[in-house]
């Protein structure tokens, strides 16, 4: 006996090769025939159910990107239950007419999928002092979510509050994005955590972590591999459910699902791989899973940074003064080494609970993962 799984939608299935077999099974009384029911003929008891199966989901969110690629309504309907949000990519909403945009948004709404406009246009509207007009027009064409980031702008708390109030007043959700698109101007861990803190104060219950193209940006290194030290620094401060990790590449998606389980929130997913992402959430390995590496890097840089890292790793939590005493290095050298280790995601800085004027340093431990 073979195993196969099909999902019906108005009498159709995603895989055209299964159509004949599917339609010949409709008369079998033991197989329910209704939209959204999976017909698993073998090993169905071994498949993991989704904890957050019904939309709107609070966790295990999947955000796909729309680059104006053509979508077959029949096939897309089979994948729609696995998709929570679609983001119209980059500046594309500027390049198509309102009527086309409205039609596209309605297409997704018909499948119970929210539609987001990216942070690129939101930042442009803020720079041009046209946020009010932008929000009104965004609402008019049917967008549900506006992303706001600080890639090309820098906002203080008062400005962020005003932006949030303006967007929310039009019954549109706002999602704050943290990070820089330019690999040459990346945020350190401390700055990233500070911006996440600000975003959560703006009533945003989730924060998107910028990845751009997935190379040398945010939590990814120059090869697109995950910087686990950086990820641990974020998730040791906030629960993983706080974040929506942009993960453009399949190995990145596989690694994050393997690390945090089916309820991890992922964005920048191409529609072609949404079935693979959902399968992995339910316990199946994908081809990309076999290329996942969990190797943690050792500190790079000069001897001082490596020496300070060794002391912090063996003596954490430790204050800067004690680091100076143990290393016999000048204050400026110790401070420089600490800053370098923080940039590499190897050390976390926290307030000393016994004396709020002082800070203590802890090494990120691989066994935290």
pLDDT, tens digit, 9 for 90 and up, residues 257-286: 988 889 999 999 999 899 999 999 988 776
Least confident of 65-69, 303-307, 318-322: 65-69
pLDDT confidence of residue 3: 38
* Cα gap 93→143, rounded to integer Å: 11
Nearest-10 Cα torsion for 293, 298, 302, 306: 170
Q: Is residue 52, in this structure, part of any structural domain at all? A: no
**25 vs 3, 14, 15, 33, 271, CA distance in Å?**
14, 16, 15, 9, 29
Question: Is there a single domain that holds both residue 339 and residue 248?
Answer: no
Q: Is the pLDDT of residue 305 over 50?
A: yes
- Provide the pLDDT confidence category of residue 93 given band limits of 50, 70 and 90: confident
* Cα gap 96→102, rounded to integer Å: 10
Q: Is residue 57, in this structure, part of any structural domain at all? A: no
**H-only helix segments in 299-360:** 303-315, 320-327, 331-343
222: number of Cβ within 10 Å: 9
Which structural domain range is residue 12 located in?
1-47
Question: Is there a single domain that holds both residue 237 and residue 279?
Answer: yes
**Most distant CA atoms of the chain, gap in Å:** 82
- Nearest Cα to Cα of residue 292 among 266, 263, 254, 320: 254
Task: Please answer whether residues 226 and 252 qualify as being in contact, where contact means their C-beta atoms are separated by less than 8 angstroms.
Answer: yes
The helix or strand, by DSSP H or E, that contains position 336, with its residue range, turns out to be: helix 331-343
Least confident of 26-35, 77-86, 320-329: 26-35
Task: Please answer whether residues 246 and 218 qualify as being in contact, where contact means their C-beta atoms are separated by less than 8 angstroms.
Answer: yes
Question: Is there a single domain that holds both residue 218 and residue 240?
Answer: yes
Least confident of 32-41, 50-59, 175-184, 274-283: 32-41
Q: Is the pLDDT of residue 37 over 50?
A: no
pLDDT confidence of residue 11: 37
Ramachandran region, residue 365 (left: φ > 0; alpha: ψ -120 to 50; beta: rest): beta
Question: Is there a single domain that holds both residue 348 and residue 226?
Answer: no
Q: Is the pLDDT of residue 23 over 70?
A: no
Number of domains composing the chain:
3
Strand ranges across the sheet with 318-319: 318-319, 355-363, 347-352
**133 vs 151, 155, 168, CA distance in Å?**
21, 19, 14
- Provide the pLDDT confidence category of residue 68 given band limits of 50, 70 and 90: confident
- Nearest Cα to Cα of residue 246 among 272, 293, 213: 213
Q: Is residue 345, in this structure, part of any structural domain at all? A: yes
Tokens in use for 205? 């219950």
Q: Is the pLDDT of residue 200 over 80?
A: yes
Question: Is there a single domain that holds both residue 165 and residue 207?
Answer: yes
Question: Is there a single domain that holds both residue 270 and residue 194?
Answer: yes
Question: Is there a single domain that holds both residue 79 and residue 18?
Answer: no
Question: Is there a single domain that holds both residue 17 and residue 153?
Answer: no
pLDDT confidence of residue 45: 59
Contacts of 92 (CB under 8 A, 6+ apart): 66, 67, 68
Question: Is there a single domain that holds both residue 341 and residue 314?
Answer: yes
Question: Is there a single domain that holds both residue 38 and residue 66?
Answer: no
pLDDT confidence of residue 156: 93
Question: Is there a single domain that holds both residue 225 and residue 355?
Answer: no
Tokens in use for 305? 């940074």
Nearest-10 Cα torsion for 256, 118, 215, 185: -120
- CATH of residue 322: 1.10.10.10
- My answer on whether omega of the bond before 18 falls inside 30° of 0, hence cis, is no
């Amino acid at each position: 006996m073979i195993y196969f799984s099909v999902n019906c939608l108005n009498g159709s299935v995603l895989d055209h090769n299964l159509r004949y077999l599917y339609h010949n099974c409709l008369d079998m009384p033991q197989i329910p025939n209704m939209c959204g029911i999976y017909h698993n003929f073998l090993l169905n008891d071994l498949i993991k159910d989704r904890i957050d199966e019904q939309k709107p989901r609070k966790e295990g969110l999947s955000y796909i990107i729309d680059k104006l690629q053509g979508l077959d309504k029949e096939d897309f309907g089979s994948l729609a239950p696995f998709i929570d949000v679609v983001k119209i990519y980059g500046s594309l909403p500027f390049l198509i007419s309102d009527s086309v945009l409205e039609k596209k948004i309605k297409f997704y709404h018909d499948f119970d999928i929210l539609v987001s406009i990216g942070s690129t246009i939101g930042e442009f509207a803020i720079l041009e002092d046209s946020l009010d007009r932008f929000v009104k027009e965004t609402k008019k064409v049917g967008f549900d979510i506006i992303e706001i980031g600080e890639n090309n702008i820098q906002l203080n708390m008062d400005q962020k509050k005003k932006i949030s109030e303006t967007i929310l007043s039009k019954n549109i959700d706002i999602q704050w994005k943290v990070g820089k698109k330019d690999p040459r101007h990346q945020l350190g861990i401390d700055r990233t955590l500070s911006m996440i803190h600000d975003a959560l104060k703006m009533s945003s219950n989730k924060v998107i972590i910028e990845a751009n193209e997935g190379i040398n940006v945010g939590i990814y290194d120059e090869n697109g591999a995950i910087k686990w030290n950086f990820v641990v620094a974020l998730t040791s401060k906030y629960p993983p459910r706080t974040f929506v990790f942009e993960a453009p590449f399949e190995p990145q998606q596989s690694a994050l699902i393997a690390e945090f389980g089916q309820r991890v929130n992922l964005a920048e997913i191409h529609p072609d791989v949404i079935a693979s992402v959902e399968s992995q959430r339910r316990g199946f390995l994908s081809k990309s899973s076999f290329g996942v590496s969990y190797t943690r890097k050792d500190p790079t840089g000069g001897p001082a940074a490596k020496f300070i890292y060794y002391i912090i790793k063996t003596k954490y939590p430790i204050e800067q003064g004690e680091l100076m005493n143990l290393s016999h290095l000048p204050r400026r050298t110790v401070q420089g080494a600490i800053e370098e280790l923080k940039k590499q995601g190897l050390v976390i800085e926290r307030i000393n609970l016994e004396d709020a004027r002082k800070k203590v340093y802890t090494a990120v431990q691989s066994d935290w993962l």
